[in-house]
């Protein structure tokens, strides 16, 4: 999460946005006057905070008002469940609709010969965000597909161990349990401290659990149910020293906070783009180190000539071009806000509501307050009350949408605001939670 050098305000022109995601996208983007106008709005808002540090910009409510206005969402429901899937800003939706209409015009021609080839510029844009070679990036439909490709595509034999945690995403653990049943692999899971004092507390659990039979480590970059940021690079360095490969579940880190592949040093990485990048639903990214592409079997068979081509992981049959291409506008929007500004705003929003509830005697947080351990996601428990009951009350009576979490090791409510969330909305959430913590739920 190291800060990156940012262009000056004068450099935040549409030309600069376009250059960031690769040559060739400009004509497609600028063909829509609406999209161009919406990008101009972001440009104008960003120019006004260009002299501020990301931390200062995170608190500039005038700037974030313009960002909030760039989304077409209801204010009748306070959406604090942006971790599952997020609304897209208007410019992304406009682009998605435009590409959809375009692909419906002589579809077999426009989709396969005009639109689909343009996804190469999207590949370039995603690679630039992640800090890797474009030939190491496949465009998928979500994090689950990306990670399934890896978990099912590795050549492993009976007795080989895969190490993960009890808090990793359920679908990925289910995938590994299937390989256990079919092939005799061994899934070993460690428990990690909940709201640890330091990242070393997590690292030590991995270090103790590695054995001579460990072949692969699957770990989340961000634990989806608590928001815990994991010590990925340190675990990767440990693994590589012992000949172990590391798959990173980046569903909740990509475009959430500012980092590059070199900050992780992982072998493989998968993420959804419809969470923190705000891309169309059903879009994802898969990263595979170039020298490892050849040995990973695709989930759906590809021609042998594609053995070393990252695109072999995209051979899924007929699929729409429109969602892929509209990722481009999501990339423009992400760069327009600024990755570090976005990170600091998300962290500011989480700390804003957490600070207002922290002194209540029966409130417990399952998320670290340290900036290197959490950003925009947090988990809160009101001791003695069931999360599901609280979640239902928040939604039914106050139209506040949250995510109740019931885990073997803890329970609470996951809160995930986004860049369009207002402080007034968080104040309403805080007011209701304060009343519930003091008086309980109405009978």
Q: Residue 65 is encoded by which pair of tokens?
A: 């008002």
- DSSP three-state, residue 186: strand
Q: Provide the CB-side half-sphere exposure for 135 (13 A, CA).
A: 9
Tell me which residue has tokens 């170039």: 290
Number of neighbours of residue 323 by Cβ within 10 angstroms: 21
DSSP letter string over 277-331? S-PPSS-EEEEE-GGGGGGSPPSS---GGGTT-GGGGG--SS--SHHHHHHHHHH
Write out pLDDT tens, residues 413-437.
Answer: 999 999 999 999 999 999 999 999 9
Residue 15 CB neighbour total at 10 angstroms: 10
Cα separation, 18 vs 36, in Å, equals 11
Q: 342 to each of 66, 173, 273, 335, 378, how far by Cα in Å?
A: 14, 31, 15, 10, 17
| pLDDT tens sequence across 81-122 | 999 999 999 999 999 999 999 999 999 999 999 999 999 999
What integer pLDDT is reported at residue 75 of this predicted model? 94
Pick from 292, 248, 11, 295: nearest CA to 133: 292
The answer to whether the beta carbons of residues 78 and 400 sit under 8 Å apart is yes
Triad 69, 73, 77: Cα angle to 5°: 120
Q: How far apart are CA 320 and CA 115, in angstroms?
A: 10
Q: Rounded CA gap, 87 and 37, in Å? A: 20
pLDDT band at 204 (very low <50, low <70, confident <90, very high): very high
Q: Which domains does the chain have, with CATH numbers?
A: 131-328 (3.40.640.10), 341-438 (3.90.1150.10)
Tell me the pLDDT of the chain averaged across its residues.
92
Cα–Cα distance, 149 to 158 (Å, whole number): 19
- Sign of the Cα torsion 144, 345, 15, 41 reads positive
Write out pLDDT tens, residues 219-272: 999 999 999 999 999 999 999 999 999 999 999 999 999 999 999 999 999 999
Q: DSSP E strands: which ranges in 74-185?
A: 78-79, 137-140, 161-165
Tens of pLDDT, residue by residue over 1-10, are 443 334 333 3
Q: In the chain, helix, strand, coil percent, each to 5? A: 50, 15, 40
* CA-angle at 145, arms to 229 and 344, nearest 5°: 30
Residue 353 is encoded by which pair of tokens? 């509501």
How far, in Å, are 117, 281, 300, 364, 391 from residue 38 at the CA level? 25, 20, 38, 41, 35
**pLDDT tens digits, residue range 8-45?**
333 333 344 444 433 334 334 444 677 778 888 888 88
pLDDT for res 25: 41
pTM (2 decimals)? Answer: 0.91
What six digits make up the tokens of 208? 């103790």
| CA 209 to the chain's CA centroid | 27
| Distance linking the first and last C-alpha atoms of the chain | 46
CA–CA separation, 256 vs 252, rounded Å? Answer: 7
Contact 285, 139 (CB under 8 A): yes
- In three-state secondary structure terms, 250 is coil
Residue written as token pair 């369009």: 420
DSSP string, 21-70: T-TT-HHHHHT-HHHHHHHHHHHHHHHTTTTS-HHHHTT-HHHHHHHHHT
Cβ-in-10-Å burial (0-12, 13-18, 19+) of 283 comes to buried
How much is the pLDDT for 37?
Answer: 81
């Amino acid at each position: 999460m190291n800060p990156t050098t940012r262009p000056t305000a004068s450099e935040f022109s549409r030309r600069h946005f376009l250059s960031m995601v690769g040559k060739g996208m400009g004509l497609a983007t600028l063909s829509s006057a609406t999209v161009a106008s919406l990008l101009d709005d972001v440009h104008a808002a960003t120019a006004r905070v260009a002299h501020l540090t990301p931390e200062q910009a995170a608190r500039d409510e005038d700037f974030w008002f313009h960002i909030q206005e760039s989304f077409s969402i209801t204010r009748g429901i306070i959406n604090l469940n942006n971790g599952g899937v997020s609304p897209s800003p208007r410019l992304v939706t406009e682009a998605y609709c435009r590409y959809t209409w375009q692909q419906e015009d002589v579809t077999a021609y426009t989709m396969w010969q005009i639109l689909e080839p343009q996804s190469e510029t999207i590949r370039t844009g995603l690679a630039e965000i992640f800090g890797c070679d474009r030939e190491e990036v496949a465009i998928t439909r979500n994090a689950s597909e990306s990670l399934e490709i890896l978990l099912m595509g590795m050549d492993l034999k009976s007795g080989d161990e895969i190490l993960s945690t009890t808090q990793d995403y359920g679908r990925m653990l289910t995938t590994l349990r299937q390989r256990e049943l079919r092939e005799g692999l061994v899934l070993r899971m460690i428990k990690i401290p909940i709201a640890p004092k330091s990242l070393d507390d997590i690292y030590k659990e991995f270090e103790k659990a590695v054995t001579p039979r460990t072949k692969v480590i699957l770990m989340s970059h961000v634990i989806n149910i608590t928001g815990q940021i994991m010590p990925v690079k340190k675990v990767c360095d440990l693994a590589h020293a012992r000949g172990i490969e590391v798959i990173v579940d980046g569903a909740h880190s990509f475009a959430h906070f500012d980092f590059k592949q070199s900050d992780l040093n992982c072998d493989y990485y998968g993420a959804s783009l419809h969470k923190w990048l705000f891309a169309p639903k059903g879009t994802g990214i898969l990263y595979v180190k170039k020298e490892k592409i050849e040995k990973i079997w695709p989930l759906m068979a590809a021609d042998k000539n594609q053995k070393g081509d990252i695109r072999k992981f995209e051979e899924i049959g007929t699929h729409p071009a429109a969602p892929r291409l509209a990722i481009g506008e999501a990339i423009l929007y992400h760069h327009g806000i600024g990755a570090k500004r976005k990170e600091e705003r998300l962290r500011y929003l989480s700390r804003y509501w957490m600070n207002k509830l922290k002194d209540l005697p029966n409130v417990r947080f399952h998320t670290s307050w340290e900036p290197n351990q959490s950003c925009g996601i947090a988990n809160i428990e009101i001791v003695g009350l069931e999360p599901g009951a609280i979640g239902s009350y928040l939604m039914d009576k106050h139209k506040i949408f949250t995510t109740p979490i019931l885990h073997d090791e803890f329970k609470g409510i996951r809160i995930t605001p986004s860049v369009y969330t207002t402080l007034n909305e968080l104040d309403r959430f805080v007011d209701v939670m304060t009343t519930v913590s003091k008086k309980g739920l109405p009978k």
